[in-house]
Every structure is written in structure tokens, then in C-alpha cells.
Amino acid sequence: MARFFAAVLRRPKVARLVRYALSGGASALTHFAIGLVGVHLLHLRPVLASTAGFLASIAVSYLLQRAWVFRSTAGHALAGAKFLTVTAVAFTINTAVLWTGTELLSTPYPIVQPIALTLIPLINYSLNSRWTFATPTRPTPGGPQTGADPSLPTP
């Protein structure tokens, strides 16, 4: 059984998914821990404490995903802006799913939130791997340059 898991983890895409799951866990733990500290030690209102935890979790998530999960060399200005865009998309999806489920369909929150919590990581992984932290391809010697029209002859 150990050999099976070792063989599976040697696959780059599977290993990246495992790293993504672990970074998500670290991000969630950061969010929750800072929220708890804010409420119980700093005596902040729960929404304020959770907001602080959420903001910290964004930083943890970005740094882990850029450096460890996707091993991206994209600059922080561009990758950070893209990451915040993906985070805004995730927030919008969460809000839309919760509003539709709880308000329009009168479904209990404990049933609706897991749906959003399943959709969001799938969408985030797809967007972050293909857009936020995508490594630009290097032009091949003698081939068309990035952004060049491949139908035109190369100089």
C-alpha cells in the first residue's frame, strides 16, 4: 500500500494537488486560529476577528501556492493581482450559492455551505493553475516568439 501511494505521489499533477490541499488546510487553520485569538484573547467581535483571520489566510494561501504548490516565478505584482481576482470570484460564488440556497430555496445553511466549499477549491485550483501562477512558455529557438502570429514567417 505504501508503494502505491509513493508511486501515485510521484506523478507531478497528483503531488501538486496534495500540496494544494495541504496549503488550503494551512490557510483554513490560519483563518480559524486568528479568529479564535481575536475573539478570546483580544475580545474582538466575531465578524471582525474572522475578517482578520480571512485576510491573513489570503496571505498564507498566496505565499504557499506561489512558492510551493505551483512553484511559480510570476512576479508578485501580477500574480498577486490575479490571486486577489480569483479570491473575489470565490467570494462571489460563495455568496451566490449561499444566497440562492438559503434565501431563494430555503435550504438549511449546513446543507448549502458544503456545496460552496466544494465548488470553490475546484474553481480556485483551475484558475490559479492555469492563469494566476501559470508559467509563461519560453519561445523555442527558431520558432515564433511569444505573442507572434505563427502564420507569419519568423525573422
The answer to whether residue 84 is domain-embedded is yes
The answer to whether residue 4 is domain-embedded is no
The answer to whether residue 39 is domain-embedded is yes
The number of domains in the chain is 1
Of the candidates 54, 53, 57, the one whose C-alpha atom is nearest the C-alpha of residue 34 is: 53
The answer to whether residue 146 is domain-embedded is no
pLDDT (0 to 100) of residue 141: 57
Express each pLDDT in 122-146 by its tens digit.
999 999 999 999 876 555 555 444 4
Residue 43 φ/ψ region, left for φ over 0, alpha for ψ in the -120 to 50 degree band, beta for the rest = left
The answer to whether residue 137 is domain-embedded is no
The answer to whether residue 49 is domain-embedded is yes
The answer to whether residue 151 is domain-embedded is no
pLDDT band at 7 (very low <50, low <70, confident <90, very high): confident
Contact 68, 16 (CB under 8 A): no
Q: What are phi and psi of 98, to 5 degrees?
A: -65, -45
pLDDT (0 to 100) of residue 154: 41
The answer to whether residue 152 is domain-embedded is no
- Give me the domain span that covers residue 124: 10-71+78-132
